[in-house]
Amino acid sequence: MKYEYDPEADIATIKIHSGKPDYGEQEGNIITHYDKNGKVVEIEILDASKSMFKVAKSIVTHATKN
């Protein structure tokens, strides 16, 4: 897994694996990119400086339920 942040665009990218994205789906400020088999390749977080707190909170909430 690899993380990148572009401060000029305010986009955080989480690369899950090295596959080539075939399509993406956007929900709010999150764009999830999938390969041709439907496996997640990367996740982009738009307006990352504002959105990361919400994402982190969601992850922690999900993790504590499992």
User: Residue 23 CA to chain centroid, in angstroms?
Assistant: 14
Q: How far apart are CA 50 and CA 15, in angstroms?
A: 20
The predicted structure's pLDDT at residue 30 = 92
β-sheet bridge partners, residue 15: 2, 42
pTM for the complete prediction?
0.74
Q: Which residues contact 13 (CB under 8 A, 6 or more apart)?
A: 3, 4, 5, 6, 42, 43, 44, 45
Mean pLDDT per 10-residue segment, the chain (66 residues): 92 91 94 94 91 68 63
Q: Where are the domains of the chain?
A: 2-65
Q: Which residues pair with 32 in a beta bridge?
A: 25, 43
Query: Which residues are 46's β-sheet partners?
Result: 11
